[in-house]
A and B are shown apart, each in its own frame.
Chain A
């Protein structure tokens, strides 16, 4: 089948596709065409602390926002377009086809928004969701702490009542990515120290401009500083910022992690075939072979093996999406975080093998910018199997929840 067929698409979806295509051709700024793989984290992150941004980016935000398309599946009442997942997929497909970025991206869409839709009260939804849709507010994640990494339920950020309507927060969060540029943070805090650790956690929203909140950048092995640590010193927060019930935050926390993991999987799978294209390009550059077979048969074999892994992963994303759409069991989705992140790491490892000595630079004229950037991205990729629940935590989840292997008594 050489030509894609649309016969299985309903007439209504076909019409919607045509409508979206026309909308984008007409309204999307030309300068943005072909600039983005359209993943959940590729684009404008919004917020009040964002550095000056290209006016075309804001124009794209405005025209989509007017139709609720910055968050297509969210209800209209909260700034979305109230579309089905099938319609949203059509919308994203068409954007990807044109290489358009999502109009606004970030943790608001990927994590806290879906969680508020599920667990937030009406007031919270009205306060936060439209602001996320408009890109006015950027969110960061206050989960990990120095002593609560994989053992996330061990969070200790103190959250003590202060009168009937407030809490006081004291403690420290780490790995609060981009906290220095965020307006709000969603936190897991300790409200009951006597209960079993999962039962004493409260999910609470904090305005980063509240007195006593201090973010500080952390430099990483890649030389970049997207990570931060965030300190809380007598931070007074209204009780109305609690999502769900006090001491029942662990359920909310886990739901959010589910959204986060599925986003990581989608993000890595957003550009099918990109791994193979990138590695072949690197091989051509570093092995000085403009065309034909990659001259080193061992490296060629490695490129093919990683590319096959990529293909199997992409097909699995498709298969699980189809299975969910057909109401099938979603148990296999638990593997996607591991599969996605390990694929990404193997891709960079193979790229580094192809680069050879050109991958060993930190700065200086002996290396071109692309070489230097690739090495730093390789370093960054080591975080993929740690963030969002380490691979080991994912394996625990699969073993217990999917395979039903027994707990240690």
Chain B
């Protein structure tokens, strides 16, 4: 138990234990060696039909990362969300486009938090083995990331439901073996497991700004059985609350990725300032630039604390409202720090930072995406205020 008492409040453990430090350094080595950021350019230019490396995904499964947080009864490693966050941070350093967010943060969490034991048994082992990919569609055009604002409907039929509607920005929909979608039914928000090859499902892939892979999923009178309801028909009214918890975990996991990304972009920028000579001296000797670098270092340190605390809270708190507070905090602080770092990284790299040839631009594109993903920061600050009673 990693809780100590301070001021009558539990203090979260915000440092890595030895095993987590080992996990971190293994992950860092693997990512540095096999996943250079330049891959994004190659995959993009080749118009790769998958948009990521299946081979790398299999390697990650073998390293145990994909099943890291899955329960042992479903062939997982049984570690915590915090451990997963340690790996995600390293993957974030090189902006890996592999389906981590869709499958591990959205799909697996939805199944773990809301699935029946049959649904978990059907999907979790395959996820951990790197054989099954899962997508989750909750956002719609105009809904600005708010699942309740979506218009997709499920209508009861004799033996199940018909689904109609359109989900946008569905990560990795084009390769998913299973797509979970939210839909209004009987005044509730339900989550439904949809087979991507079912009649009435159409998936249009788009090229995303940050080169993660995503698409639009359109459902036209798609027939699903009662067993397609996440958690079973009896759990139909639970969908909205499960989805909120899933999105909170996604925010925290994404923030862990951001942490790695901003660290890397910052490190690259500081190195550039040390090497680049203008006016017969290294750029990094100019105080105007030194202070900007030092400010970024400060925001990264604060973001790191928020993200680690949030990841720890997922493992330690049984209160979804507590996790929700930390999720808002982690996502807002991390994405703002990341955006600052990325924007400054371009400015401090100067002209070369504007070229597609240089990798630093990929970080700005990812940073802008994180600002908007899984709820805007304005909405999350409002949520924080509400959860804190004002």
Contact = CB atoms under 8 A, between A and B. Distances in A.
A9 B14 CA distance: 16
A127 interface: no
B299 to A, nearest CB: 9
A1 B285 contact: no
Contacts, number: 165
B3 A398 contact: no
B129 interface: no
Chain A interface category by residue count: 35 or more
Q: Which of B15, B281, B316, B319 has the most CB of A within 10 A?
A: B15
B46 interface: no
Nearest 4 CB-CB pairings of A with B:
A399-B290, A315-B305, A319-B14, A398-B294
A339 B302 CA distance: 9
11 contacts: A5-B5, A6-B5, A300-B382, A315-B309, A319-B15, A335-B297, A335-B302, A394-B294, A396-B291, A398-B297, A403-B297
A93 interface: yes
A19 interface: no
B303 A312 contact: yes
B9 interface: yes
Nearest to B13: A322
A257 B282 CA distance: 30
Contacts of B4: 6, 8-9
A303 B386 CA distance: 12
Interface string A1-36: 110111111000000000000000000000000000
A308 B332 contact: yes
Contact of B308 (A2, A280, A319, A399): A319
Interface string A245-258: 00000000000000
A280 B11 CA distance: 24
B390 A293 contact: yes
Interface string B274-307: 1000000110110101110111011001111110
Interface string A345-373: 00000000000000000000000000000
Contacts of A1: 3, 10, 316-318
Given A280-B390, A301-B382, A403-B270, A318 B14 contact: yes
Q: Which of A89, A272, A405 has the most CB of B within 10 A?
A: A405
A323 B14 CA distance: 8
Q: Which of A7, A272, A294, A399 has the most CB of B within 10 A?
A: A399
B33 interface: no
A96 interface: yes
Contacts of A292: 390
A399 B306 contact: no
B271 to A, nearest CB: 10
B160 to A, nearest CB: 39
B294 A308 contact: no
A280 B291 CA distance: 33
A4 B2 CA distance: 11
A181 B185 CA distance: 73
Contacts of B9: 4, 272
A338 interface: yes
Nearest to B389: A280
Contacts of B6: 89, 93, 318
Contacts of B298: 335, 338-339, 398
A283 interface: yes
Given A4-B8, A319-B15, 18 more contacts: A1-B3, A97-B7, A272-B9, A293-B386, A297-B382, A300-B390, A301-B378, A313-B302, A315-B309, A323-B14, A392-B291, A395-B291, A396-B290, A399-B287, A403-B293, A404-B270, A406-B274, A408-B285
A151 interface: no
Contacts of A404: 270, 274
Nearest to A270: B7
A304 interface: yes
Contacts of A272: 7, 9
B382 A322 contact: no
A101 to B, nearest CB: 15
A276 interface: yes
Contacts of B3: 1, 4-5, 7-8
Given A398-B294, A403-B270, A294 B15 contact: no
Contacts of A9: 4-5
A302 to B, nearest CB: 9
A305 interface: yes
A9 B6 CA distance: 11
Interface in A291-346: 292-294, 297, 300-301, 303-305, 307-309, 311-313, 315-316, 318-319, 322-323, 326, 328, 332, 335, 338-339
Contacts of A322: 13-15
Contact of A405 (B273, B304, B333, B390): B273
A93 B10 CA distance: 12
A89 B11 CA distance: 13
A312 B298 CA distance: 11
Nearest to A271: B7
Nearest to B296: A403
A395 B302 contact: no
A333 to B, nearest CB: 10
B222 interface: no
Contact of B274 (A2, A4, A280, A405): A405
Contacts of B285: 405-409
